[in-house]
């Protein structure tokens, strides 16, 4: 449904922009209709529904009031990004942006253009994606219990429940930030935007129909015509391959520029405007479009190319429909935004290659390499905050202290059976029914019976496959740290503290736990565990350790204690005791 809705909104955006750009008589109105076609040749058998009638003058007034000459009311500047999790589907509500945007745009429209765009629902109601509209949920001020980092964890302290339903305050943020958040969402949680099946069909069509491979340094008219044919085919046949479409359109702009350069070289006597006119003519002939039509599309396509040049192809593949609005209306599209995007380039690629290893297949169409550059687990790599500095294999960053360093990423803790031969010391209930110690609700791996929604991203019948975080190289002498790739509202689970469940270790970093009536155990992350191992200390931390029970087993969870933005370092307060036992002292600088 989301894909259909996004497609409709993107199309509506284009239509509104086209209408605003036209010189129409006053009082013209745009009628938006839907038709149900009952059979292929059913002329006259269509069921028509008028969805809305929009007064064009009011539409123009509205866009003028929004401070742009040719923009649709559905623009990114008015975009609220609300991240919440649907407690039924357990999926992040990545697409809330669209519905929020729609609702918000309609509200703005009402204030500037009378009753024409009536809001269908108040923005407060748009806090879930579960189909029905949810009631607003008040902000909680849950106090987090600190379990001293690497020292104690007390299972006998039931903690305030999450939080999963905590409503995040709406923040109006720059369009580029929405775009970046959307890309991270897509990389972490979407299926590939274009299915391998669709992609295979497109690649097959291209290889069967377009034979020449052009050289961008010498773009002949035939080469350019081929590139245009390919772009036309993908732009006009089925919008199921949106990411491929954006890739091919960005590439076509490169071909256009290459053709222009070739023409300038071949016919240096012509004026620059004549070169441009000639290439435009060639393009319009091959596309079968008017110059106005082509220019209109090129406005957005040029933006795709600029974005691709700044932050790479992954940005285009995972951007979703928001990229059209961003490029077409250019609100907030400036050097600063491009530089912000550029700083994510390698980070996007590491995440995309390791989480969505087939994404580069789409690049076959534009002659780019299709092999993943970064392989293995996402946290086998450590990224840099410096622009264009490569990601490094994790082990490289420990070489100077430990040439043999290795770290195995685990999805769940393992039991050291030499120390715990008979049982998992974290288990305090041996059989179902299990009840949550925080919310007292029934916990189950069965979607129909589970009622606990304390930390649904981690503990639910359908937990999320990954946490939106990356290991990065700090610039403050702490070696590596952990970076947020998505905003975390307060009280959101970042990840479980996973490692080897053991005991009696000394002189190493361990999480020392006292499991109520159970004997104390340690969680050791020296050689294996998960990303929580890379969380640095800060006295003004934005995360804390919490104990939580899931299916009768105690867990230690890293939970955000404040609002955390994309690109912020995640930190916990290790406690004084941690540092007292060490011959080093903490610095509080982050990043």
Residues near ligand SAM (CB under 6 A) are 478-481, 509, 533-534, 536-538, 584, 586-588
**CB-based contact 307:333 (threshold 8 Å):** no
| Residue of minimal Cβ distance to ligand SAM | 479
- Toward ligand SAM, which CB reaches closer, 260 or 510? 510
**Per-residue tokens: 566:** 């994309």
- Toward ligand SAM, which CB reaches closer, 195 or 587? 587
> What DSSP letter does each residue of 306-336 carry, written as one string?
HHHHHH-HHHHHH--THHHHHHHH-TT-SHH
CB of 494 to ligand SAM, least distance (A): 14
CB of 405 to ligand SAM, least distance (A): 9
- Toward ligand SAM, which CB reaches closer, 325 or 500? 500
DSSP lists the bridge partners of residue 544 as 559
CB of 567 to ligand SAM, least distance (A): 18
For 295, the 3-state DSSP assignment is helix
- Toward ligand SAM, which CB reaches closer, 297 or 533? 533
- Toward ligand SAM, which CB reaches closer, 356 or 522? 522
Neighbours of 246 (CB within 10 A): 30
CB of 404 to ligand SAM, least distance (A): 15
- Give which of 582, 575, 50, 76 is closest to 320, Cα–Cα: 76
CB of 527 to ligand SAM, least distance (A): 12
DSSP 8-class letter at 240: G
Neighbours of 31 (CB within 10 A): 9
CB of 427 to ligand SAM, least distance (A): 26
- Toward ligand SAM, which CB reaches closer, 149 or 248? 149
Quick check: bond before 433 cis, omega within 30? yes
φ/ψ of 40, rounded to 5, equals -60, -45
**CB-based contact 101:77 (threshold 8 Å):** no
- Toward ligand SAM, which CB reaches closer, 441 or 479? 479
Rg of the chain over Cα atoms, rounded to whole angstroms, equals 27
For 201, the 3-state DSSP assignment is helix
CB of 230 to ligand SAM, least distance (A): 47
> What DSSP letter does each residue of 385-413 carry, written as one string?
SSTTPPPEEGGGGGTTT-TT---EE-SS-
CB of 533 to ligand SAM, least distance (A): 6
- Toward ligand SAM, which CB reaches closer, 265 or 527? 527
Which helix (H) or strand (E) element contains residue 142? none
Distance, in Å, from the CA atom of 425 to the CA atom of 501, rounded to the nearest integer, reads 8
CB of 399 to ligand SAM, least distance (A): 12
- Toward ligand SAM, which CB reaches closer, 313 or 524? 524
For 151, the 3-state DSSP assignment is coil
- Toward ligand SAM, which CB reaches closer, 343 or 479? 479
For 376, the 3-state DSSP assignment is coil
CB of 346 to ligand SAM, least distance (A): 19
**CA 551, 555, 559 angle in degrees (round to 5)?**
120
> What DSSP letter does each residue of 20-36 carry, written as one string?
HHS-PPTT-EEEEEEEE
Report in angstroms the alpha-carbon separations of 321 from 95, 173, 242, 300, 525: 10, 18, 8, 12, 41
Q: How far is CA 548 from the centre of its chain?
A: 28
- Give which of 524, 537, 531, 540 is closest to 496, Cα–Cα: 531
CB of 385 to ligand SAM, least distance (A): 14
Which residues, including other chains, have CB under 8 Å from residue 388's CB and lie 6 or more apart? 342, 345, 346
CB of 570 to ligand SAM, least distance (A): 11
CB of 458 to ligand SAM, least distance (A): 20
CB of 539 to ligand SAM, least distance (A): 8
Instruction: Burial-class residue 220 by CB neighbours within 10 Å (0-12, 13-18, 19+).
Output: middle
Report in angstroms the alpha-carbon separations of 431 from 156, 335, 444: 19, 59, 11
- Toward ligand SAM, which CB reaches closer, 313 or 534? 534
- Toward ligand SAM, which CB reaches closer, 31 or 585? 585
User: Can you give the three-state secondary structure of 415-437, one letter per residue?
Assistant: ECCCCCCCCCCCECCCCCCEECC
- Toward ligand SAM, which CB reaches closer, 73 or 567? 567
- Toward ligand SAM, which CB reaches closer, 183 or 535? 535
CB of 481 to ligand SAM, least distance (A): 6
- Toward ligand SAM, which CB reaches closer, 331 or 522? 522
**CA 158, 163, 164 angle in degrees (round to 5)?**
120
Distance, in Å, from the CA atom of 98 to the CA atom of 121, rounded to the nearest integer, reads 14
Distance, in Å, from the CA atom of 536 to the CA atom of 588, rounded to the nearest integer, reads 9
């Amino acid at each position: 449904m989301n894909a259909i809705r996004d497609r409709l909104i993107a199309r509506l955006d284009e239509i509104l922009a086209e209408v605003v750009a036209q010189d129409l008589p006053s009082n013209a109105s745009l009628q938006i209709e839907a038709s149900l076609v009952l059979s292929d040749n059913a002329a006259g058998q269509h069921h028509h529904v008028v969805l809305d009638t929009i007064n064009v003058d009011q539409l123009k007034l509205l866009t003028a009031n929004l401070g742009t000459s040719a923009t649709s009311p559905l623009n990114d500047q008015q975009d609220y990004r609300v991240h919440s999790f649907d407690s039924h589907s357990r999926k992040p509500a990545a697409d809330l942006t669209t519905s929020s945007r729609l609702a918000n745009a309609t509200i703005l429209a009402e204030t500037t253009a009378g009753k024409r765009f009536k809001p269908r629902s108040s923005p407060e109601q748009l806090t879930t994606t579960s189909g029905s509209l949810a009631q607003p949920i008040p902000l909680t001020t849950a106090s987090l219990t600190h379990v001293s980092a690497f020292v104690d964890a007390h299972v006998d302290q039931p903690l305030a429940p999450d939080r999963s339903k905590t409503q995040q305050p709406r923040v109006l943020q720059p369009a580029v930030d929405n775009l970046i958040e959307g890309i991270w969402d897509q990389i972490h949680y979407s299926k590939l935007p274009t299915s391998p099946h669709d992609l295979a069909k497109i690649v097959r069509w291209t290889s069967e129909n377009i034979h020449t491979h052009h050289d961008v340094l010498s773009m002949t008219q035939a080469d350019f015509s081929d590139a245009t044919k390919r772009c036309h085919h993908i732009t006009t046949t089925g919008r199921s391959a949106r990411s491929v479409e954006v890739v091919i359109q960005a590439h076509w702009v490169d071909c256009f520029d290459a053709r222009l350069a070739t023409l300038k070289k071949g016919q240096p006597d012509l004026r620059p405007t004549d070169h441009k006119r000639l290439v435009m003519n060639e393009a319009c002939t091959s596309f079968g479009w008017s110059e106005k039509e082509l220019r209109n599309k090129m406005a957005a396509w040029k933006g795709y190319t600029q974005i691709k040049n700044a932050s790479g192809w992954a940005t285009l593949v995972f951007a979703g429909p928001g990229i059209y609005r961003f490029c077409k209306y250019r609100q907030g599209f400036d050097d600063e935004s491009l530089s912000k995007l550029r700083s994510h380039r390698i980070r996007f690629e590491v995440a995309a290659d390791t989480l969505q290893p087939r994404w580069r297949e789409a690049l076959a169409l534009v002659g780019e390499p299709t092999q993943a550059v970064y392989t293995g687990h996402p946290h086998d790599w450590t990224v840099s905050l410096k622009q264009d500095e490569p990601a490094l294999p994790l082990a490289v960053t420990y070489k100077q202290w430990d040439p043999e360093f290795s770290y195995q990423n685990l999805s769940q803790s393992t039991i050291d059976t030499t120390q715990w031969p008979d049982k998992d010391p974290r288990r305090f209930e041996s059989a179902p029914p299990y009840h949550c110690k925080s919310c007292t609700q029934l916990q189950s791996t069965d979607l129909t019976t589970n009622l606990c929604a304390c930390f649904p991203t981690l503990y639910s019948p359908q937990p999320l496959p990954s946490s939106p975080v990356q290991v990065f190289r700090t610039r403050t002498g702490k070696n590596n740290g952990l970076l947020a790739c998505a905003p975390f509202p307060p009280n959101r689970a970042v990840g479980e503290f996973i490692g080897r469940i053991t005991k009696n270790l000394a002189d190493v970093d361990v999480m020392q736990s006292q499991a109520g009536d159970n004997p104390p155990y340690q969680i050791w992350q020296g050689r294996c565990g998960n990303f929580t191992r890379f969380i640095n200390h800060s006295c003004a931390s934005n995360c804390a350790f919490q104990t939580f029970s899931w299916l009768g087993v105690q867990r230690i969870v890293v939970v955000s204690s404040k609002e955390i933005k994309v690109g912020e370092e995640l930190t916990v307060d290790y406690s004084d005791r941690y540092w007292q036992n060490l011959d080093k002292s903490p610095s509080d600088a982050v990043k």
